[in-house]
Chain A
């Protein structure tokens, strides 16, 4: 066998073998991966939502999706999403994924849990950072009691929330004004989206152009581990 032919044959066999093997592994892990992704979202939702008996991940509005009735995974990942919580058919609240473009270390993806009626009073039930690159120990204090307590059961006004430094009412964390601002503004934005898209029986009514950071969000994923506070 000529030399070159042998090279090609050997490489093809190795590449073919490994592709075949990977196809098997991929098949075997497809379900667990899908399940763990879904469980992650549900877990985050459970932590911030009031009681519900529906499946909030099935009643979501991806705000600004090209095809509102069938948003792609990628759109659900980088656009604001409103998840509705119901009990006995009644809306009890919702959770809104907001991507705030101006965190200290890049964009922050925040999940804000809200309680109440989109048409009436809306209260904060909790919030989580889904993806962030804020400084551990400084920015991440925005998820802990002294700061987070001021939002427990907080009734979200219709006008934008601001930190005191910007002439508002929210006490910022010393040394982490930017992250405090992220939380305050994300809560406002979440309530606004909830009021706008939480209308009963209109799942899929997305309005394009309301995405604050739909276009550019480098750093949305967290390539340097260490943020781990979720």
Chain B
């Protein structure tokens, strides 16, 4: 891997190596919580926090952790930050906490985080790992925010809870978009759009 500048390290996760749309990681929360824009943002923020913190800590400990036990060690670090998010969110953002539900503790098994720990943070400096974590987190957040926005708009006629498409649309909104099939369909079409762009 050639040396990347700090900006490239930060930027790669947003587009070229977007964890959701390009690397197809972290599908479960992306589909499950994106019934609204706000949920997408909330989940994204939680993932940015966990990903950045665990990347930093794992990078700091990379010379201490023997490689034979690295996976359990990574998991403990990740699970600690996830639990922190869980507790803090329940105390201060109870509504968001309720609507994200079990997908907060499930951030532990979000493949993005373990994948970055294994593939990046355990081999790179603290500073680079932090940038990588933020970049990947932001990329993930952007992708699920778009997903949540599309689903909320078409399925409910609102954005962030505010009516956008008018009463007439709202009365006959495409409910299927906020039901589970809408998640699969929207993400499928979004990925097809990415592939179509690349194919040219």
A→B interface (CB under 8 Å)? 3, 6-7, 10-11, 14-15, 18, 21-22, 25-26, 29, 31-33, 35-37, 39-40, 135-138, 221-226, 228
Contact = CB atoms under 8 A, between A and B. Distances in A.
Interface stretch (B16-24, B95-103, B131-139): B95-103
- A-B pairs with the 7 shortest C-beta distances? A32-B91, A18-B80, A226-B35, A225-B99, A29-B91, A36-B94, A29-B87
Interface string B46-88: 0000000000000001001110110011001101100110011
A136 B76 contact: no
Contacts of B76: 11, 14-15, 18
Interface residues of B, number: 38
Interface stretch (B1-9, B120-128, B172-180, B185-193): B172-180
10 contacts: A3-B68, A7-B69, A18-B76, A25-B88, A32-B91, A36-B94, A40-B94, A136-B175, A137-B178, A224-B101
B33 interface: yes
Residue from the set A3, A7, A18, A39 with the largest chain B CB neighbour count within 10 Å? A18
B32 interface: yes
Contacts of A15: 76
B36 interface: yes
Interface string B163-200: 00000000001010011100000000000000000000
Contacts of A29: 87-88, 90-92
B39 interface: yes
A137 B156 contact: yes
Residue from the set A37, A138, A226 with the largest chain B CB neighbour count within 10 Å? A226
Contacts of B33: 225
Given A137-B173, A226-B35, A25 B84 contact: yes
A224 B32 contact: yes
A137 B36 CA distance: 14
Contact of A10 (B65, B84, B88, B99): B65
Contacts of B100: 225
B173 to A, nearest CB: 6
A136 B156 contact: yes
B77 A14 contact: yes
Contact of B64 (A3, A10, A26, A39): A10
Interface of B: 32-33, 35-36, 39, 61, 64-66, 68-69, 72-73, 76-77, 79-80, 83-84, 87-88, 90-92, 94, 98-103, 155-156, 173, 175, 178-180
Contacts of A22: 80, 83-84, 87
B180 A135 contact: no
A55 to B, nearest CB: 20
A15 B73 CA distance: 8
A228 B44 CA distance: 19
Given A22-B83, A221-B101, A11 B69 contact: yes
A26 B88 CA distance: 8
A228 B36 contact: yes
Nearest to A17: B80
A138 B175 contact: yes
A106 to B, nearest CB: 14
B101 A222 contact: yes
B87 A26 contact: yes
Contacts of A225: 32-33, 35-36, 39, 99-101, 103
